């Protein structure tokens, strides 16, 4: 199989590229990536010389770049997206462009090639918050942020192209990922790298928000199962079955690094902050997938990776991230210091 992996230079996409090349020796991979602040060719260094891998620098909103990258492919796996909820509060326009218009542009191209399967990588955030129990795939979507609304829009576009044009689409909705190569703006890598530098950990609100955490490779294997075994038009939740509140995550990181709880700062909450995410993965489990990595092992490995790979994250934190971090946290951290 020849796969077009959009957003393959990002966190999850780069793991998916590595997994595909290693698990399927007959497969080829083309990556199409715009290399935004979150895209990083260093994430793909170890496959750069693989003759079954090709990189195309381009935007999924650009029909010409998409047509070129799609030459000869059997399936498209769309990871490309703007992905950070906090940034979607500061600048929603880029989310609507990539997460909705980008999906539409890819679907227009796939529509010309009836044998190509299109997998839209989506998120549990499209369901919104749930107080108790877990969402299943037939539940109503109720996104809370411009990010999750844009992701829901991308899904809707995929469903419309199936109904209207018969495009072979599959959708996955994954839980919160963690692992190596995650950009240091998301909770886990931000807190690990801040703690390594003895910088404050800005915990939103009371820290009681719950997320279902999945190790990145388990998510990739779930997407791969849906791609290869899922039914056309199928939607598959990819759950970690591992719910934790943000306080638990924070204390775990501090304990693994031997750092003091005094680094924690309770800062002003994220507007529209979803209290709890929870999804049931029965459909995907019935296809033979299950998460393999325990949270204890995955977190220990992830913390060790960031401890050993300052060469990877220090340049990111001193670049564009510094401007973003100041805009996002300076006021909140100053207020927290005054309390
Ligand atoms: P990421 O932010 O690390 O990477 C996104 C990648 O997409 C980057 O390489 C970036 O350069 C690329 N990109 C952005 N806009 C583009 C465009 N217009 N054209 C081409 N490339 C573009 O994201 P991630 O955390 O790896 O998430 C990947 C996908 O998985 C996203 O679709 C996201 O919504 C979904 N997802 C993420 C999580 C999570 O916890 N991170 C959970 C569930 C689903
Ligand atoms: O500094 C912080 N302090 C804090 O308390 C940050 C960055 C986050 N948080 C909280 C907010 C959330 O309750 O931690 C939790 C996780 O936050 P994020 O890492 O920003 O993830 P989340 O908002 O849950 O969204 C993620 O999961 C689903 C990804 O960013 C999405 O791309 C994915 O679709």
Q: Tens digits of per-residue pLDDT, 81-95?
A: 999 999 999 999 999
Residue 7 pLDDT? 99
Domains, the chain, ordered by start: 1-330 (3.40.50.720)
Provide the pLDDT for residue 317. 95
Please state the atom number of ligand 1 nearest to the C-alpha of residue 35.
11
CA of 7 to the centre of ligand 2 (A): 19
Ligand closest to Cα of 249 equals 2
Q: How deeply is 101 buried, as exposed, middle or buried, from its count of CB atoms within 10 A (0-12, 13-18, 19+)? A: middle
- pLDDT value of residue 310: 98
Q: Of 124, 168, 185, 212, which one is the catalytic site residue?
A: 124
pLDDT of residue 245: 98
Tell me, what's the pLDDT at 9? Answer: 99
What are the pocket residues of ligand 2 if the criterion is a CB atom closer than 6 Å to any ligand atom? 83-85, 123, 125, 176, 186-187, 190, 202-204, 209, 211, 246, 270
Q: Is 147 a catalytic residue?
A: yes
Query: Annotated catalytic, 46?
Result: no
CA 260 – ligand 1 centroid, Å: 33
CB atoms within 10 A of CB 204: 17
pLDDT given for residue 322 in this prediction: 87
Distance 125 CA to ligand 2 centre (A): 10
Q: What is the pLDDT of residue 320?
A: 84
pLDDT at position 339: 82
Which pLDDT score is estimated for 261? 98
Q: How many CA atoms lie within 13 A of 190 on its CB side?
A: 16
pLDDT score recorded for residue 18: 98
Rounded to the nearest whole angstrom, what is the distance from the C-alpha of residue 270 to the centroid of ligand 2? 10
Quick one: pLDDT at residue 200?
97
The catalytic position among 147, 178, 306, 325 is: 147
Cβ-Cβ contacts under 8 Å for 107 (sequence gap 6 or more): 118, 157, 158, 161, 167, 169
pLDDT at 319: 83
Tell me which residues of the chain have a pLDDT lower than 50.
none
Question: Which bound ligand lies closest to the C-alpha atom of 125?
Answer: 2
Catalytic pick among 125, 168, 212, 274 = 125
For residue 78, the CA-to-ligand 1 centroid distance in Å is: 9
Distance CA 244, CA 155 (A): 27
Tokens read off for 264: 């924690």
Q: Is position 108 annotated as part of the catalytic site?
A: no
Is any atom of ligand 1 closer than 6 Å to the C-beta of 83?
yes
Probe residue for ligand 2, chosen from 79, 83, 85, 214 as the CB with the greatest number of ligand atoms within 8 Å: 85
Our mutation pick for probing the ligand 1 site, out of 5, 11, 171, 184, counting the most ligand atoms within 8 A of Cβ, is: 11
Residue whose CA lies nearest to ligand 2 atom number 6: 187
């Amino acid at each position: 199989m020849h796969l077009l992996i959009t957003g393959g230079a990002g966190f999850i996409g780069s793991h998916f590229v590595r997994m595909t090349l290693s698990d399927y020796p007959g497969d080829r991979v083309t990556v199409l990536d715009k290399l935004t602040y979150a895209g990083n060719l260093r994430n793909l260094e170890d496959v750069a010389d693989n003759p079954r891998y090709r990189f195309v620098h381009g935007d999924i909103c650009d029909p010409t770049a998409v047509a070129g990258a799609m030459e000869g492919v059997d399936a498209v796996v769309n990871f490309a997206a703007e992905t950070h909820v906090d940034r979607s509060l500061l600048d929603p326009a880029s989310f609507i462009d990539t997460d909705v218009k980008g999906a539409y542009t890819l679907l227009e191209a796939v529509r010309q090639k009836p044998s190509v399967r299109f997998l839209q990588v989506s998120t549990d955030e499209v369901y919104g918050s749930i107080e108790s129990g877990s969402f299943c795939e037939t539940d109503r979507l109720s996104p809370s942020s411009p990010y999750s609304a844009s992701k829901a829009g991308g899904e809707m576009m995929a469903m419309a192209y199936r109904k209207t044009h018969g495009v072979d689409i599959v959708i996955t909705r994954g839980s919160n990922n963690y692992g190596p190569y995650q950009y240091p703006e998301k909770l886990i890598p931000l807190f690990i790298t801040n703690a390594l530098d003895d910088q404050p950990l800005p915990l939103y609100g009371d820290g009681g928000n719950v997320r279902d955490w999945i190790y990145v490779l388990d998510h990739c294997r779930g997407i791969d199962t849906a791609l290869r075994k899922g039914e056309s038009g199928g939607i598959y939740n990819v759950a970690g079955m591992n719910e934790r509140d943000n306080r638990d995550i924070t204390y775990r990181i501090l304990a693994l690094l031997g750092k003091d709880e005094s680094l924690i700062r309770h800062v002003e909450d994220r507007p529209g902050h979803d209290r709890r995410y929870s999804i049931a993965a029965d459909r995907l489990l019935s296809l033979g997938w299950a998460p393999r990595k325990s949270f204890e092992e995955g977190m220990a490995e992830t913390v060790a990776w960031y401890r050993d790979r300052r060469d990877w994250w220090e340049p990111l934190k001193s670049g564009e991230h510094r401007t973003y971090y100041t805009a996002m946290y300076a006021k909140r951290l100053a207020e927290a210091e005054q309390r």
